[in-house]
Amino acid sequence: MKIRYIRDPCCISAAFIIAWTAAAGGADDFMTITPVHEVRPYQDVRFKDLRGIDFSGKGELPATFWFNQKTVWPDSNAMPRAAASLLADMKNPGLGVRKLHAQGITGKGVKVAIIDQPLWQDHPEFTGKIVAYHDVGCESETSMHGPAVASLLVGSECGTAPEARLYYVAAPSWTGDSAFYAKSLDWLVEQNAKMPAGDKIRVVSVSAAPSGKGSPFKKNQQSWDVAVIRAGQAGILVLDCSEEYGFIGPCYYDAKAPEDVTRCKPGFPSMPGRLSAGGRLLVPCSPRSTAEEYIKGEYSYQYCGQGGLSWSIPYCAGVLALGWQVSPELTPIQIRELLFSSAHKVSEGALIIDPAEFIRLVKAKGETR
C-alpha cells in the first residue's frame, strides 16, 4: 500500500489526510504497531502501542487523543476511562439527534451527496446506502477521510441522517487541483437533471475549500466557483469549508453531556473560540468517532478527541436532510434560514446548531402553509 500525506486545514484532528493507492509489497509502515513511551494532548496514537504508559495519574488525557481500534492500551487499572467506552459513546451525534431518529425522522428517502476522498462501499456503517459512486481520477480505493465523512452523514451508528440516500463522488484532493472538485459537482448536477421533480439531490457535503482565501488548492479555483453557481441554479445547496460559500464553523461537545446544546463551546478543544464569529453556524466536530477501512473487509472505527471542520460539514448536511424529510417543499434558502433561526445563541453571540429546535421550526413552517 502507498500512502500520500496532504495537509488539509479543514481537518484539524487529522494533521494529514491519508490517501491509499495500490502498490507492490505489504502493509505500509503507517499500520505497523509501534511502541510509544511519551504522549501529549491531542496526539495521533492510531496503530500505537501505549502499554508502556501509566495513564492513572493523567486524568482525561486519553480522551483528547486520535486513536483507533488498533491502538494498544495498558491494563484497565492504568486507565482513567476505557478507550472502548470513549469510542462507542462518541458515535452518538448528540444534541438530540437520536431522539429525532426514534421519532422516524432519519432523512429517509432524501438524496444527499458527498465529494471527498475515495472509500470502499462495504463498511457496515453505510453499506447499501450509497446509491451511486463516481470516481473523477483518484486512482486509489480508500482513504482515512472518505469513510469518516460518509459515516458522519449516513452512518447507521454515527450519522445524523442514517436513512438518506447518498451519491458519492471520489475526488483526489492531494493534487491541489480544484478542477477535479468542479467535475465532481458538475457530475452531480448532471445526475440531478435526470431525476424527477421533488426527488432530487438536496445538499452536497464538501469537507474541503476548493477556492477562496486560505485554500490549499492552487490550480483552477475559478472552476469550483463556476460549478457552485451551476449547482445553486439546479437547486442544490453546497456546503464547503471556503470563506466564500461556507457558512459552517466548529464547536465541540461537553463529552459528559453531548445532548445538551447549551454546553457546546465554540471552536476546538485546544483552541476555544476559534472561528466562532463571522455569522457562521457552529456544528459539532469534537469529540467524534467515525468509520475507517484501510484494508478491504477490515471494518473498524477511529475516535477523534479533536475533530476538524471536515466533521462538521457532513453533520450539518445530515441535519438538513432531516428537515427536508419533514418538509420536502422547502427551498435551500428557506431551510438555511430555519437552520440559523433555530440555532442556540451563546453569550459571545455565536450560533450553535440545534437539531431538535430546527425540526420544530420546520414542522411549524409546514403547518402555516
pLDDT one-digit tens code per residue, 199-232 = 999 999 999 999 998 899 999 999 999 999 999 9
Predicted pLDDT of residue 366: 75
Q: Domain 97-367 adopts which CATH fold? A: Rossmann fold (3.40.50)
Question: What pLDDT digit, counting tens, does each position of 88-139 carry?
Answer: 999 999 999 999 999 999 999 999 999 999 999 999 999 999 999 999 999 8
Domain limits, the chain:
2-81, 97-367
Question: What pLDDT digit, counting tens, does each position of 168-188 carry?
Answer: 999 999 999 999 999 999 999
Predicted pLDDT of residue 361: 97
Rounded Cα distance between 7 and 16, Å, is 5
Kindly tell me if the per-residue pLDDT of 163 is higher than 60: yes
Give the CA distances from residue 49 to residues 17, 132, 260, 324, in Å, rounded to whole numbers and listed in that order: 22, 39, 34, 45
Kindly tell me if the per-residue pLDDT of 6 is higher than 70: no
Kindly tell me if the per-residue pLDDT of 2 is higher than 50: no
pLDDT band at 277; cut points 50, 70, 90: low
Model-level pTM?
Answer: 0.92
Q: Give the pairing of strands 2-6 and 17-21.
A: antiparallel
pLDDT band at 75; cut points 50, 70, 90: confident
Mean pLDDT confidence for 40-57 = 90
Cis peptide before 287 (omega within 30 of 0): yes
Predicted pLDDT of residue 279: 81
> Residue 347, exposed/middle/buried by CB under 10 A (0-12, 13-18, 19+)?
exposed
Question: What pLDDT digit, counting tens, does each position of 289-334 carry?
Answer: 999 999 999 999 999 999 999 999 999 999 999 999 999 999 999 9
Q: What is the largest CA-CA distance in the chain?
A: 63
Question: What pLDDT digit, counting tens, does each position of 322-351 carry?
Answer: 999 999 999 999 999 999 999 999 877 889
Mean pLDDT confidence for 18-41 = 64
Torsion over CA: 113, 118, 122, 126 (sign): negative
Predicted pLDDT of residue 325: 98
The conformation of residue 219, written as its DSSP 8-state character, comes to B
pLDDT band at 4; cut points 50, 70, 90: very low
